[in-house]
Amino acid sequence: MTTRPADVNLADPELYADGDPYAAWRALREHEPVAWQAVSGTLGFWSVTRYEDVERVLEDHVSFTSERGTLLSLLGRDDPAAGRQMAVTDPPRHDRMRAPLHRALRLRSAEAHAGQIRAGIRELLPDVPPGAERTFDFAAACAQLPLVVLGPLLGLPARDRPRLVRLAMMCAAEDDPEHQLPGGPEATLQRGHRELFAYFADLVRERRRRPPEDADRDLAEGAGDLVDVLLSMEVDGARLTPGEVLSNCYSLLLGASVTLAHVPPAAVLELSRTGRYTDWAADPDLLDSGVEEALRWASPARHFMRYARRPVVLADMPLGAGDPVVAWLGSANRDGTVFTRPDVFDPGRRRNRHLAFGAGPHYCAGASIARVTLRLFFAELFARYAEIEVTGTPRRARSTFLSGITHLPVRVRPRQKEVAR
């Protein structure tokens, strides 16, 4: 039995950098599964920590809207992209925006890009000669994993990747000292947004110079990328405006780049701590279930926010119309009423119904490509390194949204290559 930490502040990024959010969430699930978290003055939000309630908030778009913003960083002001960017648009318009993108992401996922993704992954992981060992920052090596995938999908040149990773981190982890500008979190957020929008504005302008029939032909032949899909798609009888195209490019970049990179470091840290790396690496049958467990374990997107559209009762708690509601995915994924031994990383876990990709109409549009990428990544990691051991203190992002390790010093030993007979 835990007691409710009366002074826990789920809006404080420090809790996630140096504290123990899992203990705070556990206590809240037990004592106050829907709890009011004051922020300042009358500003605050309902904190939802149990699996069942988190799933309800994400699925029930009739009671809970995404159109006033979905991240805590926007609490107290409405999201200007509402109705224009898929992630902050409610059904039914949302569904009409999502269908062509989702189709394109599924088509382009998996097999279509597996070769390219595998080659990109090989470049991220350092080669170690037989008999030697090597130390490096595993989290830094993973930082560009999302761009290995997203680069070809959005047609982004490889030289731009480091800059895009940096800008995405400014937008998703504006409180983190490593990414924050001297002007503070708000200035960091604004600058990140501005630069990313300017970047995509150039990209889209360039694309629009192409004759439309060329883009249509590429798409028909399966050669167009997601920018082409956005430029050509029609929603409610009209093409997206340039602003809507930009906004959705931004959302795709952010959706992928601040999540995918943080799954392998979280898994490797725990596998090293428990000495279970070699067990998982030795059993290829556990690749798929292990990736699902890594997703549950890492839950890189800690939360998503909604606003109650009307008075609604959640876990016996009456919420008022217009109240902000934060669904903590990281907490739902450790709920002991759904997962046996929730605080154990078990690559063989069965019936792993984690919510790392969310639930309901906004369920991650990139989930299938993220899964393929992670399977390729772990397969390559296991093929390359017989052992991996964390040798220093991990550094966690200071962020209410991003659950990520930004530095993870490791030592690796290569797998012995089989000698050709």
Residues near ligand HEM (CB under 6 A): 58, 66, 70, 86-87, 98, 105, 149-150, 251-252, 255-256, 259-260, 263, 300-301, 304, 329, 356-358, 362, 364-366, 369-370
As a dihedral over the C-alpha atoms of residue 194, residue 197, residue 203, residue 208, rounded to 10 degrees, the angle is: -130
* Residue 100: how many other CB atoms lie within 10 Å: 17
Alpha-carbon gap, residue 115 to 107, rounded angstroms: 15
Alpha-carbon gap, residue 250 to 395, rounded angstroms: 27
Please state the length of the chain: 421
136: number of CA atoms within 13 Å, CB side? 16
Closest contact distance (angstroms) between CB of 21 and ligand HEM is 17
Closest contact distance (angstroms) between CB of 255 and ligand HEM is 3
Q: List the structure tokens of 313.
A: 């009762």
Annotate 243-296 with DSSP letters as a single string: HHHHHHHHHHHHHHHTTGGGHHHHHHHHHHHHT-HHHHHH-GGGHHHHHHHHHH
Closest contact distance (angstroms) between CB of 382 and ligand HEM is 19
Nearer to ligand HEM, 136 or 363 (CB): 363
Nearer to ligand HEM, 128 or 301 (CB): 301
Coil/strand/helix, residue 327? strand
Contact 271, 345 (CB under 8 A): yes
* Residue 242: how many other CB atoms lie within 10 Å: 14
Nearer to ligand HEM, 28 or 105 (CB): 105
Nearer to ligand HEM, 106 or 407 (CB): 106
Handedness of CA 165, 170, 171, 175 (dihedral sign): positive
Contact 59, 325 (CB under 8 A): no
Nearer to ligand HEM, 27 or 298 (CB): 298
Nearer to ligand HEM, 32 or 95 (CB): 95
Closest contact distance (angstroms) between CB of 262 and ligand HEM is 8
Closest contact distance (angstroms) between CB of 359 and ligand HEM is 7
The residue with its CB nearest to ligand HEM is: 366
Contact 126, 136 (CB under 8 A): yes
- Tell me the helix, strand and coil percentages in the chain, rounded to 5: 50, 15, 35
Closest contact distance (angstroms) between CB of 130 and ligand HEM is 33
Closest contact distance (angstroms) between CB of 393 and ligand HEM is 24
Nearer to ligand HEM, 144 or 180 (CB): 144
Nearer to ligand HEM, 25 or 128 (CB): 25
Closest contact distance (angstroms) between CB of 417 and ligand HEM is 31
